[in-house]
Structure 1
Amino acid sequence: MTQQIILATAALFGGLSVVFGAFGAHALKKILSTDQLQSFEVGVKHQMYHAIVLLVLGLTPKYTSAPIYWCFTIGILLFSFSIYGLVLSDAKEKKLRFLGPITPIGGLLLVSGWLLLLIHAF
């Protein structure tokens, strides 16, 4: 994976997490319950944490690994975005239940990315 692609992905996910965080703190605060808002924030935080990891990976050529990149990228999409979908659909009382099993798959991919990073470090 090229450094430019990793950095662009990090910038996209990082920027979107700021937008989603602001959206949650302002626009959604009026329509979400406290629990729903907390769940939404979990998605935003994990998205930002892993965007920062991608940024560091993109700036460190030694760790520019396609499997690590894909675990974090797909993990963010499945984990954070399924949480966003679950929370927003629940707020509209049309919960997209099929997203429920997707969240842990995304989490597993994020953990796999960390594990691959550990292996790659040695």
Structure 2
Amino acid sequence: MPKRKHRVIIDTNLWISFLLTKDFSKFDQVFADQTLILLFSQELLDEFIEVARRPKFKRYFSLTDLQDLVEQISLRAEFVTIASEVTICRDPKDNFLLALAIDAKATHLITGDKDLLDIQKFESTTILTIAAYLADK
């Protein structure tokens, strides 16, 4: 019996970490996994681009690096329109990720955000770090 595909949201903080560290080993594991469906929304993409363009990151990666990653995301991701409203996060700016989890039927939300990690499970979505996700595969 084939493995059930994981429907995965990766939070902005991890995309930024990938760009900052240039250590794509975990990123490559996730991207190469054909049992994984990468989920995105326009809100998540906009947040990622906005954060990545902050002046404090200019010395760590180029605009070309960012554009290349956005292109890879666009080719690989399933984009979902957010219709749900969620208001349970301590940080209201994170509510859209949980709304995306509902609307995209996400199995996993991978993040480094403590507020989200503290939730652990939201509806049918498990919230965990990338290390925990890869260890569990």
- TM bracket, shorter-chain basis: under 0.3
Greater strand content: 2
Structure with the larger helix share: 1
TM-score, normalized by length of structure 1?
0.27
Greater gyration radius: 1
